[in-house]
């Protein structure tokens, strides 16, 4: 699982359909038909997604706007 890809999905602008395909490919190699919460990459990817969206991004926003 690549943290940089997940961070890019959160921060980069772009077409939502493409972002969904990229996230799906992170979770399910080779675009298999289904994703399960029991898949090997699901738990780690979900943890990174939550950490980045709940901790890192608000800290970045706070640091950027601290001088205002």
Q: State how many domains the chain has.
A: 1
Q: Compute the distance between CA of residue 59 and CA of residue 21 in angstroms, rounded to an integer.
A: 28
Q: Compute the distance between CA of residue 62 and CA of residue 60 in angstroms, rounded to an integer.
A: 5
pLDDT at 36 over 90: no
Segments forming the whole domain that contains residue 30 = 3-64
Query: What's the mean pLDDT in 38-65?
Result: 81
The confidence score (pLDDT) of residue 15 equals 93
Query: What's the mean pLDDT in 20-32?
Result: 80
Q: Do 42 and 27 touch, CB atoms closer than 8 A? A: yes
**pTM for the model:** 0.67
Percent of the chain with pLDDT over 90: 7
């Amino acid at each position: 699982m690549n943290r940089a890809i997940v961070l890019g999905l959160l921060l980069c602008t772009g077409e939502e359909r493409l972002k969904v395909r990229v996230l799906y490919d992170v979770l399910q190699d080779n675009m298999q038909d289904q994703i399960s919460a029991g898949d090997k990459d699901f738990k780690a990817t979900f943890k990174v997604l939550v950490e980045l969206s709940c901790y890192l991004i608000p800290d970045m926003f706070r640091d950027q706007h601290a001088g205002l």
